[in-house]
Amino acid sequence: MSRPPPGGARGPRRISRADVAARANVSHGTVSHVLNHPERVRPDTRARVEAAIAELGFVRDEAARHLRAGYSTTIGLMLLDAWNPSFTEVARGVEERTALGPWTVLMSNTARDTDREQRYLQEYAARRVAGLIVIPNDHADGQAMLPTNVGVPMVVVDRADQGGDTMSIAVDDVLGGRLVAEHLAGLGHRRIAFVGDPDFARPVRSRFEGFAQALRERGVLDLEVLPAPLTIEGGLVVGRQLATRSAAERPTAVAAAVDLLAFGILQSLLAAGVRVPDEMSLAGYDDIPFTAQLSVPLTSLARPHAQMGVDAADLLLRELEGDRPEERHLLRRPELMVRASTGPPPDASERPPRGPTR
């Protein structure tokens, strides 16, 4: 009959290497060899130690081992908004790349809170992570709140080159906004609305700048900006407001700064009997999962979120493994996915402009 695990009346405690050594009747050093260099241990002795490990349920303390060795295999991943599928796709990409090696990802969610962002950075430093991948709380005023001197290699996602030694990967959102605008104007729309606050975050501002510039070049001057939170709820409110307007007063096409906004707008419009795209076209931005499976499949600007996660992890791991990447600031090109939510305007007199106006 085997002995119960150490702990006694005081309750369970963590099983140590000394407990394994005592159960296998070997030295502490032999247990260490079995864990770190099993080829150095006689097969019968190794089998006895492994049996003791399984019987006691021993789990090695990787954090302590790495601290003693002076290195860590833990990577910090700080998401801006874990409720947004765009950012969870980035996390999926990071996991796919790090799973190829001995790396562990420690993830946190700042929920667009700058104070929480700073607190997590301090926590990562206290845990001595090997490196960081961060989607920052990026303000439209251009103020970089994220420090670059965090003491470990860092990759910033969704922010272009900010100088210093920090690596980055981003998508050309100015081009993305332009592609959406050119699509809507090319369909013949002349009264267009942009939903989202350009002053809220730098990526939104970049999208709006490209969007507005492309419309001006095509002679489309009737552009309405409807600020809203970047959420489904924000879209529901805007959609209800648009649905209450007469057909002559509302835009014939709406571009949302993110897909979540577009989801809410679509729901409100359909609930109010406004047909999409027959009475109003609607385009999103991000092409998050399920946009193609909506009741009206959504035209959206695709950003390669999962691939951005893979690329961010690849930059960081190459840096950590001594293969310093020459290209340290990556800018990816977006792609417009045209689906059933966009079409020509309802007023046949609103014909496509003849060409770009400069």
Predicted pLDDT at 325: 85
pLDDT at 213 over 50: yes
Q: What is the chain's mean pLDDT, rounded?
A: 86
* 265 Rama sector, left if φ>0, alpha if ψ -120 to 50, beta otherwise: alpha
DSSP 4-17: PPTTGGG------H
Q: Any idea what the Cα angle at residue 320 is, between residues 316 and 325, rounded to 5°?
A: 60
Partner residues linked to 75 by β-bridges: 105, 131
**Using 50, 70 and 90 to split pLDDT, how confident is the model at 29?**
confident
Q: pLDDT per residue over 237-282, tens digit each?
A: 999 999 999 999 999 999 999 999 999 999 999 999 999 999 999 9
Give the range among 65-74, 94-103, 312-321, 328-337 with minimum mean pLDDT. Answer: 65-74
For residue 353, name the pLDDT band (cuts at 50, 70, 90).
very low
Alpha carbons 17 and 22: distance in angstroms, whole number: 9
Q: Give the separation between CA 120 and CA 105, rounded to whole angstroms.
A: 14
Q: What is the mean pLDDT of residues 219-246?
A: 96
Q: What pLDDT is attached to residue 351?
A: 45
% the chain with pLDDT above 70: 85
Topology of 72-171+305-331 in CATH?
Answer: Rossmann fold (3.40.50)
Residues with Cβ within 8 Å of 16's Cβ and at least 6 positions away in sequence, in order, are: 58
Q: What is the pLDDT at residue 350?
A: 46
Domains 72-171+305-331 and 173-298 share a fold: yes
pLDDT at 1: 40
How far are the Cα atoms of 76, 103, 156, 259, 338 from residue 175, in angstroms, in the given order?
A: 30, 35, 20, 17, 16
CB count, 10 Å around CB of 257? 30
Q: Which two tokens stand for residue 30?
A: 């032999």
Each domain of the chain, given as residue ranges in start order, spans 8-60, 72-171+305-331, 173-298
* β-sheet bridge partners, residue 301: 285, 336
pLDDT recorded at residue 64: 52
Quick check: 9 pLDDT over 50? no
Lowest mean pLDDT among 79-88, 239-248, 344-353: 344-353
Separation CA 257–CA 300 (nearest Å): 10
Q: Regarding the domain with residue range 173-298, which homologous superfamily does it belong to in the CATH classification? A: Response regulator (3.40.50.2300)
Nearest residue to 121 via CA among 84, 151, 93: 151
Which range among 42-46, 61-65, 80-84, 350-354 shows the weakest confidence by mean pLDDT? Answer: 350-354
CB 230 within 8 A of CB 207: no
- Whether 66 shows a pLDDT value over 60: the answer reads no
**Local structure of residue 123 (DSSP, 8 states):** H
Rounded to the nearest 5°, which phi and psi values hold at 342? -125, 140
Single-letter amino acid, residue 257: A
Q: pLDDT tens digit string along 103-149?
A: 999 999 999 888 898 889 888 988 889 999 999 887 645 444 555 55
**Helix, strand, coil in percent for the chain, rounding step 5:** 40, 15, 45
Q: Is-contact 158 134, C-beta < 8 A? A: no
168, pLDDT greater than 50? yes
Instruction: Output 95 or 11, whichever has higher pLDDT.
Output: 95
Band (162; pLDDT cuts 50, 70, 90): low
Residue 100: Cβ-neighbour burial (10 angstroms; 0-12, 13-18, 19+) = exposed
Predicted confidence at residue 112, as pLDDT, reads 86
Q: What are the distances in angstroms from CA 46 to CA 58, 154, 192, 212?
A: 15, 40, 72, 69
Paired strand residues for 79: 109
The answer to whether 129 touches 74, Cβ cutoff 8 Å, is yes
Q: What pLDDT, on the 0 to 100 scale, is given for residue 54?
A: 87
Poorest-confidence range of 15-29, 60-74, 239-253? 60-74
By CB atoms closer than 10 A (0-12, 13-18, 19+), residue 50 is middle
Distance CA 35, CA 260 (A): 48
pLDDT at residue number 274: 97
pLDDT band at 205 (very low <50, low <70, confident <90, very high): very high
Weakest mean pLDDT among 1-15, 116-130, 339-353? 1-15
Q: Is the pLDDT of residue 215 over 60?
A: yes
CATH of 8-60, one of 1.10.260.40, 1.10.1750.10, 1.20.58.1290, 3.90.120.10: 1.10.260.40
Q: Which span out of 36-45, 207-216, 322-331 was modeled with the highest average pLDDT?
A: 207-216
Q: Which residue did the predictor score with more confidence, 241 or 161?
A: 241
Task: Give the confidence band of 308 by pLDDT, cuts at 50, 70, 90.
Answer: very high
User: What confidence score (pLDDT) does residue 343 get?
Assistant: 97
pLDDT at 3 over 60: no
Strand partners, 131: 75
Instruction: Give the Cα separation of 259 and 255 in Å (integer).
Output: 10
Neighbours of 165 (CB within 10 A): 10
